[in-house]
Amino acid sequence: MTAQAVETRSSPASVRMPGVASTAIHDALSEPQTPGTVLGTASHAVWLLVDGDVIVASTRDATRLPNGVEVAADAIADTFRTVRHGAPVTVGLGQVLFEGLTIDVVRWWDPRPVLRPTSDARLSEAIAGLPTTVPEIDSGPLSAALSAGSPQTILAASISLIGRGPGLTPEGDDYLAGALSATRMLGEAMRREDTAVMLDSIAGPLMRHTSTRTTTFSAALIRHALDGRVAAPAGALLRALTGRGDVADSHQDLTRVGHTSGPALAAGMILGARSLLQSQPHSNGGKR
């Protein structure tokens, strides 16, 4: 009897890597394991849909996102080469599990920057000369609404920006996220409790609109922005605006992120800051 060779195909060797994760996704990463799906892949990142929310696994030379976990490797290492669009993933118990790749969360970072208390005069000086607009986005309605402090008009102006422009995160979404995050965080730094009340009042309706008007990933970033959770370069700009860091350098660093995302985020943040200076505090979250 002649032996017949049998062709076998080996699966890729499993790789295990440490990761640094955002505290915004602490619960998802720490609770019992939950199945998910890979939404998209690139050399520097993969996007995951887990229990209706989006988590991003990225390399350390990518932008650190508020809903992300960062591995200890650069994009050139091709860490995510075995990960495929639509493939299953499991998240929980401190791990992100792909076929052929396991990320172990070993450290956390807070995407909600700690800001120094600031005043109208100091903030006005910090934002002087920085742009509040980007091409293709009409900033007028949102600027007027934030300055007026009316939740209804802010909601309407915000909805008009959702999904505007191409990309995984449309330019209008990035602009809105910048404005909302700056309003939240700088409002706190200025002891403006009315801004938190105002943003909390529109959060539910706004997120219902994002669920049908933009990408799942972009909707997740807007939700985080509403609570002041931002990408690392955006957090650096917010800190600089309140006296911790160089404003010009941090603004330039943010504008270099992506093709349109960084400039739109930066312009939206400066718009939010300027609108705070133009508005008047009111105990119920609106302008008297």
What is the rounded average pLDDT of the residues 233-247? 98
Q: Which pLDDT score, from 0 to 100, does residue 282 have?
A: 57
What is the rounded average pLDDT of the residues 1-20?
58
Q: pLDDT digit string (tens) for 72-99?
A: 999 999 999 999 999 999 999 999 999 9
Q: What is the pLDDT of residues 103-135, one digit of tens each?
A: 999 999 999 999 999 999 999 999 999 999 999
d(CA 264, CA 250): 14
The radius of gyration of the chain from alpha carbons, rounded to an integer in Å, stands at 21
Q: Above 60 in pLDDT, residue 185?
A: yes
Average pLDDT, the chain: 92
pLDDT band at 6; cut points 50, 70, 90: very low
Q: How confident is the model at residue 5 (pLDDT cuts 50, 70, 90)?
A: very low
For the chain, the structural domain boundaries read 15-109, 120-278
Q: How confident is the model at residue 259 (pLDDT cuts 50, 70, 90)?
A: confident
